[in-house]
Amino acid sequence: MRHRGLVRAVAAELVSEPRGRLSVGDRLASLRAQALAGGGENKLEKQHAKGKLSARERISLLMDGGRFQEVDQLVTPNASEGIPGDGVVAGRGKVHGRDVMAFANDFTVHGGTLSASNAQKIGKIMDRAREVGCPIVGMNDSGGARIQEGVGSLAGFAEVFRRNVQMSGVVPQISLIMGPCAGGAVYSPALTDFTLMVKGTSHMFVTGPDVIKEVLMEDVSMEKLGGAKTHSSRTGVAHFTANNDIEAINSTRELLYFLPSNWQAPTPVDETSAIHPTDQEDPFLDRIVPADPDQPYDMVELVERIVDRGVLVQVHEDWAKNIITGFARVGGHSVGVVANQPHHMAGVLDIDASRKAARFVRFCDAFNIPLLTFVDVPGFLPGCGQEWNGIIHHGAKLLYAYAEATTPKITVITRKAYGGAYCVMSSKHLNGDYNYAWPSAEIAVMGAKGAVKILHGRKGRDLDKKLREYEEQHSNPFEAARRGFIDGIITPSKTRALIAGDLESLANKDATRMVLPAPTKKHGSIPL
């Protein structure tokens, strides 16, 4: 409507003005040139000098062939002032041949600050993504709310937040932080599914260093307070990091390769998976788990030997390293991988690991991406710090996520599965579709040494004999198999072929229906 009003106003001017003035076409060309120029050559040079791309360069790199159809190119804050486009570029294009909507703050125009008019642009492109059922990518490089617009700018932020919530679980939402993102602006990325930050040039915080120094008398740099390293390794706010804008955009394209366009669309299948046949056995897997139950091994290596081409795209790779989450393919089918990492803290579950895995499980379930879980977990991390900070509450998040998930679930216990952690890690009791154990699996209430000490005391007779008896009776997968709690004890080298077959058989599973009739309710109350 704004475009039409602008063209009508120009046409009315031409009727009353002498011949020789600009035609409608010339005026339109002039406005488009202004929009393409953004804040001007000098500001663009400053952007490039910081190692940052322009808004249009970023969206072009994201889309196949650099082609995208821009929307609302001529929007301005009002009819008489402002630069056409008003600090945000928005449009649609294709990534891997599938529709994607995107918007990017233009830092060369008013520092990319959010006005009511460009909030309207962002809202329009978000609505379009929801209507057509395609992912939306937001590229954040903004000074925050446009102060001179007052509450109008704040209302714009709230309109974006509302749409983030409405679209959650409907289409994938991805945020790239490619510059400053402060104050209220941080909450839109926090509401999206994945956040990627660029090292050195991106920062996120609710309150900046200057305010912190004034109020709390603390000196902290922008990088330490809210840089990519802080949010990727300490807070878990950032799911991915990149060294520069180009790497960030390529990582986003790679991520979209694994995701369906919307919650009702099928997960994309890689038809070239025949390059990595699924029936090929890997004898190395038969010896990857050490005989010593206390000796670590790298679960990433194990997973990479099972998935197609050894490609595992880790999510939150630098945060809560005792659990692995990420995307891969098996037999061409996209899967979400969750795995304990015995190479870090023995793979124990703690607060951060529980939060990390729970959110990932819920995302995969929302978009019907099959979950592939590898279990080697000695339990939950003990200690006052964990207890006082709510390990019970946070561990319940992961339990709730797996129990609620109806997407296909395949679980392989490679070694330890002790106590409540056994239950939590996608056990058969949480409606797992296929649950397997390797011969090295130990499924028990706790480790043999601890159990024997509790049962017989530290100075009881024949403790070594009792230890061997406990190991023979409990530290193995046979009791669970006898009870039907696992579907089979499998040869490790044949795991890839088995999983590929299971994924084929589960391809038509109706994940929108619960296995058992659920009571009527609005929704459950997850322990947030």
Is pTM beyond 0.85? Reply is yes
**Secondary structure percentages of the chain, helix, strand, coil, to 5:** 45, 20, 40
How far, in Å, are 72, 81, 157 from residue 1 at the CA level? 10, 18, 22
Q: What is the pLDDT of residue 4?
A: 42
**459: which residues sit within 8 A by CB, 6+ positions away?**
none
pLDDT band at 434 (very low <50, low <70, confident <90, very high): very high
Q: What is the pLDDT of residue 195?
A: 97
State residue 279 phi and psi, 5-degree precision.
-90, 5
**What residue has token string 């878990």?**
236
Contact 257, 211 (CB under 8 A): no
pLDDT tens digit string along 212-257? 988 999 999 999 999 999 999 999 999 999 999 999 999 999 999 9
**What residue has token string 């459950």?**
524
DSSP code, position 42: H
Q: What is the pLDDT of residue 431?
A: 93
C-alpha to C-alpha distance for 438 and 460, rounded to whole angstroms? 33
| Residues carrying an active site annotation | 183-184, 420-421
> Which runs of consecutive H residues, i.e. helices, occur in 171-279?
187-191, 209-216, 222-226, 228-230, 245-256
What is the rounded average pLDDT of the residues 447-462?
70
**What residue has token string 């008003």?**
86
Q: What is the pLDDT of residue 271?
A: 81
Contact 70, 3 (CB under 8 A): no
Contact 398, 357 (CB under 8 A): yes
pLDDT at 265 over 90: yes
Type of residue at 440: S
For residue 43, what are its two tokens?
A: 């500001």
Type of residue at 327: F
C-alpha to C-alpha distance for 497 and 330, rounded to whole angstroms? 9
pLDDT tens digit string along 414-427? 999 999 999 999 99
Angle between helices 463-473 and 448-456 (to 10 degrees): 120
All domains of the chain in start order, with CATH: 1-37 (no CATH), 39-256 (3.90.226.10), 274-441+476-505 (3.90.226.10)
For residue 248, what are its two tokens?
A: 């960030």
